Structure 1
Amino acid sequence: MKPFIPHDLPIKNMDWQKFQRILGPANRAIARYDGLLQSIPNPAVLLSPLTTQEAVLSSKIEGTQATLEEVLKFEADPNRETEHYQDIREIINYRKAMAFAVAELEERPMSLNLLKRMHSILLDNVRGENKSRGAFRNIQNWIGKPGAAIEEARYVPPSPLKLMENLDAYEKYLHAEDDDALVQVAIIHAQFEIIHPFLDGNGRIGRILVPLYLHSKNILHQPMFYISAYLEKHRDEYYDHLKAISDDGNWEEWIQFFLKAIDTQARANTEKARSILNLYEQMKQKVVESTHSQYALQSLDGIFTAPIFSSSEFKRFTGIPKASSARILSTLRDEGIISILEEASGRKPAVYIFRELIDIVNQ
């Protein structure tokens, strides 16, 4: 099988009628979601668990098995033994790469250099770190069954001799204005996977690009869009539609699939974000009235940011003094707001869970 030659961007002679029916609803759904995002006073706090869940699901597409609860429990106490340690490290790196990119975009536009720096963070001290971490590949890669030769490959990305030419054209398209931003982000994600510029981590970087691009184009005022739940649920379709681009040049069905993903997840994101916001408002009154503490809102933000936490971590990330922290946790437990996940043992602190928030995120 020969290396694929990517199509020129923008895609010419595309039949927009094939995905026109879903394009309007997808744009309306994401506009409603962005409207809700703008109404949330502290989205980085309230939607923090959704951001972690996105990292969990995007990594799951690539074969990890760790759950949201396992990641949060590990972060509550990194010294405890855990079954999926390497998976959890990959998920945490995903979130770090995303946070780094968001901060970078405040200062400068999207670029190939940004992609390499994200990749370096993603593969730091985890599986794949020895596969040219932070660098574009200079050898031929291919996609197929484990151990398969290139002749048996499902797909062979562009030749390394043409890679920088392909990436330069890709970067220009990132900064171009196509006829519709949602169609453009569908093409941007697919073309990145088609070029497959890294030896490992292409899928995850490609999915991080989705909210980054939507934010860079002001479609979203915050780079918080969670698409991986749909792609993980429809994994075979996801891969088949990507393959149909290289096999048959079928961009229209890929775009239709991706717009459906955006529409579905914009609605799901809206519902979850609204449920989290409503829960926050309910808990604000309850926590203030029950704790009678000047630190009530700090503690509330703390359990929304990290809904699984140890007593020592709670004191650290909220900045609440030790005595007040212990009293607040006791009150929150008595009120049924949080519950014990693991009792304190010896020098190990107790681990708590804010189950109501976890249940919303896992819906």
Structure 2
Amino acid sequence: MDTLPVPALDREDHTWVAERDGMSSRARTAAASGPYRSAVVPAIAVYAPRLPVDLAADAEEATAALSRFDSYARAVLGADSPTLDPMSSILLRTESTCSSQIENLTVGARQLALAEIDQPSSGNARVVVANVRAMEAALELADQLDEHAVLTMQAELLRGQRGWEQHAGRYRDGLVWVGTSALTPRGAAHVAPQPEQVPAAMSDLVRFMRRDDLPVLVQTAVAHAQFETIHPFADGNGRTGRALVHALLRAKGVLRSTTAPVSAGLLRDTDGYVDGLTAYRAGDARPIVERFADASRFAAASGAQLVDDLAAQVDDARRQLHGLRPQAAAWRVIPHLVAHPVLNANLLTTTLGLNQMAAQRALAQLADAGVLQERTGKQRNRVWQHPGIIEVLDVYSQQLRRT
């Protein structure tokens, strides 16, 4: 099988002096010190891929699948449907959740929805909400695709991680590596370039991303792999790099209306994803392009099923409200249940502009019809949920983890 050559990493020699961390023995700290090699990332701004015929066809087919999914979601919901934006929001959150799961940050649909309305939830949920904000920033800034846009994505991400705020929106000033030891880069799977090399490497990557003469999925996979190789931040590199994927797919016109769960596809084979990044650093981009092609096809197929399942829940909710007067505020809430399967009166006042009395009345109407369930049992700070939508989202996530 033909490879897809890409400039391979060079490496340079350095010496690491480990510092006592209060948990490691003196002997272990001494063994952690010594020579190591860090990456020197080659420039790719003018890289011209020589695509094998079969890989070119594979990438083109996967790109077309993503475009069809985008058109399908728009057709099912209707260009002017009030459900289109909420559906796009939940697909973006699904993608953010899957991207976080790759980093072993797992959170259920209810926990995430609670965190979205500022209700007490798990620490992981707050981190995933920050990942949602990073994805939103990626899409909003897709038209510019410059270093400021990348820094903004990472800043949104780290604002949700306590203790990392000082690293938000800035390139790292220290060494980072991918490995099992926090004490030393020696023996790490990948030691990123020295921090002083990061700005030039990122400037080169931005020039590559802004080109319009490359197959989109190949450009996206290579840009992502190059970003992960540079590892420009103290933290959040994986999630920022996957947000960048969606900025590229939006900027290049592949996904115009919604977000496809590409990270869900990558999550199905995280070993293959990591192996693809390793092969890229060794000079072969074929495995990472193949992984993105597979992930894109899965995203298109599973995303379409997810759209159908969620749209069915919305249709059921409308049927349950049959007989309620058309002017009732409950009807206005229905489309937003997809994006907010857990909600309270404050959410309706900010999202729909209802006053508190109208919001409480709408929630009561939805609960009386069996659309929503009140889960707190309190008289104040009450929270309602749509169990069907939560179940659809959790089943989707559980299927990925089982795979």
| Partners of 1:319 and 1:13 in 2: CA distance | 51
1:99 aligns with 2:136: yes
Summarize the Cα distance change of 1:61–1:137 in structure 2 as closer, same or farther, 3 Å threshold. same
Which residue is 1:51 aligned to?
92
Summarize the Cα distance change of 1:254–1:72 in structure 2 as closer, same or farther, 3 Å threshold. same
* Contact 2:59 2:289 (8 Å CA) reproduced: no
Larger displacement relative to structure 2 (168-177 or 141-150): 141-150
Which residue is 2:343 aligned to?
309
For residues 154-184 of structure 1, the C-alpha deviation after alignment (integer angstroms, 9 at most, x for no partner) is: 1012233322221121111111124311111
| Partners of 1:304 and 1:130 in 2: CA distance | 31
* Contact 2:115 2:126 (8 Å CA) reproduced: no
1:174 to 177, 186, 209: 209
Residues 147-166 of structure 1: pairs in structure 2 closer than 5 A: 147-166=182-201
Which residue is 1:272 aligned to?
306
Which residue is 1:251 aligned to?
285
* Contact 1:339 1:355 (8 Å CA) reproduced: yes
* Contact 2:66 2:296 (8 Å CA) reproduced: yes
Which residue is 2:384 aligned to?
352
Q: CA deviation at 1:33?
A: 0.7
Q: CA deviation at 1:286?
A: 4.3
TM-score by length of 1: 0.88
| Partners of 2:161 and 2:374 in 1: CA distance | 31
Q: CA deviation at 1:251?
A: 0.8
Please tell me the residue identity of whatever aligns with 1:97. Answer: A
Which residue is 1:31 aligned to?
67
| Partners of 2:366 and 2:158 in 1: CA distance | 38
Summarize the Cα distance change of 1:228–1:296 in structure 2 as closer, same or farther, 3 Å threshold. same
| Partners of 1:310 and 1:212 in 2: CA distance | 32
Larger displacement relative to structure 2 (191-200 or 58-67): 58-67
Which residue is 1:261 aligned to?
295
Summarize the Cα distance change of 1:18–1:196 in structure 2 as closer, same or farther, 3 Å threshold. farther
* Contact 2:349 2:356 (8 Å CA) reproduced: yes
Summarize the Cα distance change of 1:182–1:271 in structure 2 as closer, same or farther, 3 Å threshold. same
1:138 to 165, 168, 173: 173
Larger displacement relative to structure 2 (225-234 or 164-173): 225-234
Residues 79-98 of structure 1: pairs in structure 2 closer than 5 A: 80=120, 82=121, 84-85=122-123, 87-98=124-135
1:188 aligns with 2:223: yes
| Partners of 2:86 and 2:285 in 1: CA distance | 37
| Partners of 2:245 and 2:345 in 1: CA distance | 36
SS of corresponding position for 2:176 = coil
Q: Which has the higher contact order (CA 8 A, sep 6+)?
A: 1
1:233 aligns with 2:265: no
* Contact 1:37 1:221 (8 Å CA) reproduced: no
Which residue is 1:203 aligned to?
238
SS of corresponding position for 2:234 = coil
Q: CA deviation at 1:225?
A: 2.3
Larger displacement relative to structure 2 (59-68 or 286-295): 286-295
* Contact 2:192 2:231 (8 Å CA) reproduced: yes
Please tell me the residue identity of whatever aligns with 2:188. Answer: A
Structure 2 gaps of 5+ residues are 1-35, 397-403
Q: CA deviation at 1:150?
A: 1.8
| Partners of 1:259 and 1:48 in 2: CA distance | 24
Please tell me the residue identity of whatever aligns with 1:348. Answer: N
Larger displacement relative to structure 2 (28-37 or 315-324): 315-324
| Partners of 1:333 and 1:223 in 2: CA distance | 30
Please tell me the residue identity of whatever aligns with 1:96. Answer: R
How many residues end up aligned between the 2 structures? 354
| Partners of 2:161 and 2:210 in 1: CA distance | 32
* Contact 1:3 1:158 (8 Å CA) reproduced: yes
Which residue is 2:29 aligned to?
none
Which residue is 2:114 aligned to?
73
TM-score by length of 2: 0.80
Please tell me the residue identity of whatever aligns with 1:50. Answer: L
1:124 aligns with 2:159: yes
Which residue is 1:293 aligned to?
327
Structure 1 gaps of 5+ residues are none
Which residue is 2:352 aligned to?
318
For residues 177-213 of structure 1, the C-alpha deviation after alignment (integer angstroms, 9 at most, x for no partner) is: 2431111111111111111111111101101111111
Which residue is 2:53 aligned to?
17
Please tell me the residue identity of whatever aligns with 1:65. Answer: T
Larger displacement relative to structure 2 (87-96 or 22-31): 22-31
